[in-house]
């Protein structure tokens, strides 16, 4: 497979640092191979996930048309503007676990006549169904994102799936298309991605892979993929390292499948009952978090190996449609609402994963961080009329040039460091040629103390200018607060120098750097 970066993780004893040692500057050389382009990096690598969970939809997206908060047809204008600024390419909805109890008919027609349901998965909160199919599609269109709709398999049937799809996309005069028109939408909705079930091994039905593969084939038989319905069919994939699930499902149902999902969350402690705090953490927690998130690379390699065996032509895409850091909820909040704060650590976590995804885009065609607003590793936090753009949001903004770019190999050996007992590479990196013709190099410096001097041999690339941005702060758990100027936001990067065919980058500790070479 093409790899934009080879982070070999070789231990360099002379550079190994303990968490308690004084800060140092790590000096590392890299080689850019601009004349050996790799695989395309799809814009869908930068996708989002918005579930009916906590304040993710209600308050986060939907405030209603009568709200004093500025909105367009009930959808927050400030949130839409922020998401447009990071060029969100796709949004997955309505779940998540919520999807496999969702009745799509609850969310259409006059809002004052829609039934209220109990959200059994997430805190027992009332689900008013004020935000349904039309509202979600309006939200996606306002943002400029493609919809990725998750179908209820666990507690529904193929007829429900078929009728919802026809309601959304039928251009004809059939009753379902006419019902959509009566509800305010003449033109069919654009629905390019449809997930057939979610976490079918768990909250989506507690199925075995063999049983799910049969269920998937049954649902797919009534999917009616044709000129009217060209959507990518996404199978419900594995939980973390359950490679057997991917093997069985792609072997038994791969012919009917266009993509399969994969879920992996970064749990600092590895213990779902006590995950660790989102703020106020020490260097040991920083090290554990980065060590856990870097397992994404091994995870992808293992699942891709199985897919390559069952699908050697690489027809089936791998969608990591749930990923991100998951901490203990903030004190005083509903445990079922998964509300957590977002710090510089999360911005570095996001960038480190982007750099990993870029190396596997021959197979990885989409990822969707969990979740967009007010839930888990969110882009945005809301509080009444106020919003906060998080460090994770800014990491996404810095990486916008990588959307629909072409990967370029960047050969580099990252020194191993010891952070509070966790051995991790000091950094990882990736490079690509953007649609604008510029070459972009991105670095996630995961060392909480050590700066990095990275010397890049540019080879065939004839560079005349370099510019960039850096995301960092004084404290590991620095975060942006409501009503205050952001303390973790990109600023101009002054540490880049060109000299002949060499680019030198002076990168601060605990930072994300993206530079453009032209």
Compute φ and ψ for 281, nearest 5 degrees: -90, 165
Packing angle between helix 295-310 and helix 344-357, nearest 10 degrees?
30
- Give the contacts of 316 (CB within 8 A, at least 6 positions apart): 250, 254, 257, 258, 259, 260, 307
Both tokens of residue 227? 């000129």
| Short-list 264, 299, 269, 309, CA closest to 287 | 269
DSSP 113: G
**What's the start-to-end Cα distance of the chain, in Å?**
27
Q: Helix (H, G, I), strand (E, B), or coil: what is residue 189?
A: coil
Selected catalytic residue, list 199, 215, 297, 362: 199
Sheet order of strands, 5-7 included: 5-7, 410-412, 25-32, 451-457, 502-507, 496-499
Closest by Cα among 385, 374, 387, 362 to 308? 362
| Half-sphere exposure (Cβ direction) of 207: Cα atoms closer than 13 Å | 24
Strands (E), 190-325: 193-196, 232-239, 259-266, 317-325
For residue 94, cis peptide bond before it (omega within 30 degrees of 0): yes
| Pairing relationship of beta strands 146-151 and 496-499 according to DSSP bridges | unpaired
The yes-or-no answer on residue 206 being catalytic is no
Token pair in block for residue 25: 């500057």
**For residue 260, what are the β-bridge partners?**
235, 318
| Residues in Cβ contact with 66 at an 8 Å cutoff, skipping those fewer than 6 apart | none
Reading the block at residue 467, the tokens are 């510019």
The three-state secondary structure class of 309 is: helix
- Catalytic entry in 160, 166, 322, 362: 322
What is d(CA 164, CA 31) in angstroms, rounded to the nearest whole number? 51
| Residue 199 annotated among the catalytic residues of the structure | yes
492's enclosing H/E stretch is strand 491-492
Residue numbers annotated as active site: 199, 322
């Amino acid at each position: 497979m093409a790899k934009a970066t080879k982070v070999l993780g070789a231990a360099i004893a002379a550079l190994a640092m303990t968490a308690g040692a004084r800060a140092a500057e790590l000096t590392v050389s890299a080689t850019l191979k601009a004349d050996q382009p790799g695989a395309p990096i799809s814009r869908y690598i930068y996708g989002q996930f918005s579930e009916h969970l906590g304040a993710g939809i209600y308050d986060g997206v939907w405030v209603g048309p009568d709200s004093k908060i500025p909105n367009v047809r009930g959808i927050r204008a400030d949130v839409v503007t922020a998401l447009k600024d990071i060029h969100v390419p796709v949004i997955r909805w309505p779940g998540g676990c919520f999807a496999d109890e969702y009745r799509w008919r609850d969310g259409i027609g006059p809002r004052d006549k829609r039934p209220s349901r109990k959200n059994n998965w997430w805190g027992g909160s009332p689900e008013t169904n004020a935000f349904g199919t039309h509202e979600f599609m309006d939200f996606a269109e306002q943002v400029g994102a493609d919809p990725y709709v998750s179908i209820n398999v666990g507690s529904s049937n193929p007829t429900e799936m078929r009728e919802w799809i026809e309601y959304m996309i039928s251009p004809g005069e059939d009753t379902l298309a006419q019902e959509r028109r009566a509800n305010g939408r003449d033109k069919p909705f654009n629905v390019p991605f449809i997930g057939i079930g979610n976490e079918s091994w768990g909250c989506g039905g507690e199925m075995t892979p063999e049983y799910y593969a049969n269920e998937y084939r049954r649902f797919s038989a009534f999917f009616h993929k044709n000129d009217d319905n060209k959507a990518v069919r996404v199978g419900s994939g594995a939980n973390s390292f359950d490679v057997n699930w991917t093997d069985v499902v792609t072997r038994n149902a791969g012919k009917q499948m266009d993509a399969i999902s994969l879920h992996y969350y970064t749990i600092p402690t590895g213990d779902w009952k006590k995950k660790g705090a989102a703020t106020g953490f020490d260097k040991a927690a920083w090290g554990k978090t980065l060590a856990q998130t870097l397992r994404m690379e091994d995870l992808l390699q293992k699942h891709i190996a199985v897919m390559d065996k069952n699908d050697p032509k690489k027809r089936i895409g791998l969608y990591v449609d749930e990923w991100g850091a998951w901490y203990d909820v903030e004190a005083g909040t509903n445990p079922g609402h998964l509300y957590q704060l977002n710090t510089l650590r999360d911005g570095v976590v996001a960038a480190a994963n982007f750099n990993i995804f870029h190396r596997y885009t021959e197979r990885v065609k989409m990822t969707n961080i969990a979740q967009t607003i007010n839930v888990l590793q969110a882009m945005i936090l809301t509080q009444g009329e106020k919003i906060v753009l998080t460090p994770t949001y800014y990491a996404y903004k810095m990486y916008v040039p990588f959307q629909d770019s072409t990967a370029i190999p960047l050969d580099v050996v990252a020194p191993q460091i010891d952070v509070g007992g966790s051995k991790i590479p000091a950094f990882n990196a990736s490079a690509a040629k953007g649609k604008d013709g510029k070459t972009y190099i991105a670095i996630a410096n995961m060392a909480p103390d050590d700066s990095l001097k990275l010397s890049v041999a540019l080879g065939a690339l004839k560079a005349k200018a370099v510019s960039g941005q850096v995301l960092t702060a004084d404290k590991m758990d620095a975060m942006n607060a409501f009503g205050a100027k952001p303390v973790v936001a990109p600023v101009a990067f002054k540490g880049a120098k060109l000299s002949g065919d060499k680019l030198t980058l002076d990168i601060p500790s605990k930072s994300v750097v993206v530079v453009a070479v032209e």
